[in-house]
Amino acid sequence: MTRTKFILINLVVLLSLSLSTQAGYFAQGQIASLVRAYIIKQLGGERERFQVEILHIPQNVDIDLELRVIPSPRKSYLGTYLVKLGAYSQGVLIRKIPLVVRVREVGKILVANRLIERHETLTSNDFLMAERRLPLSGRRPLRRLEEVVGKRSTRRINRGAIITTDLVQPLPLVEKGEIVNLTLRRPGLCLRAKGKALKDGWEGDTIR
C-alpha cells in the first residue's frame, strides 16, 4: 500500500512539472492554425479547396513572443516546402522557426467507375465524380463528362483511377486493320483500289 502511494505521489509530481514546463510555450495547434491561415490566404481564401499539413512543429516557442509568417517570393503555394515563422519581441525579430508544410488542392474530378480496357469506347456509365487530392504535376485531371464520353481509352484504366487528359483520345476515323477505299489522282489518271490500314488514323493524318 505504501509503495502504491509513493508511485502515485511521484506521478502527480512529474505531471505537475510537465504541465508547468509547457505552460510558457505556444501549443502546436496554435502554430499550425497560424500557418494554415496564412497559406490559405495566399491561395485565395477558399479553405475547402486545399489541405494544409504541417509536418514538423517545434514545441519550445515562448508564448510571450509574437509569431508572424515571414513572406517569401514563392509563386505557387502547392507542394511540400519550407515556411519560416518569425518570433518577435517588441517588434524585433529574435528567432526564425522553420516549418515543413505540405499543401494539396482538393476538388471533384472524374474517376473510373470500373476497369476499362485499352481502346474501349467510353460512356457516361464508365465514370463518377469524386472528391480527390489533385496531382501536383503531370496531366490535367478531367472534370466534365463531355470531355470523355464518345472518346476511347488510350490504355487500361483501373477502377477508381483519376482520369487525366492522356488517358482518353477521340475515336480514330480509320482503325488499324480496317479495309478502306484508296484513290490516287494525277493529271489524266485516277486509280481506285482497296487497302488495309496498318495503323489508326485521325483527320489530317498520313498513315501506311
Cell triple for 102: 505540405
Tell me, what's the pLDDT at 203?
75
Tell me, what's the pLDDT at 17?
39
CA atoms within 13 A on the CB side of 129: 7
Residues facing 89 on adjacent strands: 92
Q: Which residues contact 120 (CB under 8 A, 6 or more apart)?
A: 126, 152, 153
> Distance between CA 129 and CA 44 in Å, rounded?
24
Tell me, what's the pLDDT at 10?
44
Tell me, what's the pLDDT at 23?
55
pLDDT in tens, the chain (208 residues): 455 444 443 444 344 434 434 458 999 999 999 999 999 999 887 778 899 999 988 888 999 999 999 999 888 899 999 999 999 999 999 999 999 999 999 999 999 999 999 999 999 999 999 999 888 777 889 999 999 999 999 999 999 999 999 999 998 878 787 788 888 888 888 888 888 888 887 777 787 8
- Residue 197 C-alpha from the chain's centroid: 41
> Distance between CA 165 and CA 60 in Å, rounded?
47
Number of H helices, E strands in the chain: 2, 9
Tell me, what's the pLDDT at 196?
87
Q: CA 64, 66, 69, 71 torsion: positive or negative?
A: negative
> Distance between CA 52 and CA 203 in Å, rounded?
45
End-to-end CA distance of the chain: 94
Q: How far is CA 107 from CA 51, 169, 203, in A?
A: 11, 23, 34
Q: How far is CA 98 from CA 57, 60, 101, 121, 203, in A?
A: 8, 13, 10, 51, 55
> Distance between CA 48 and CA 6 in Å, rounded?
51
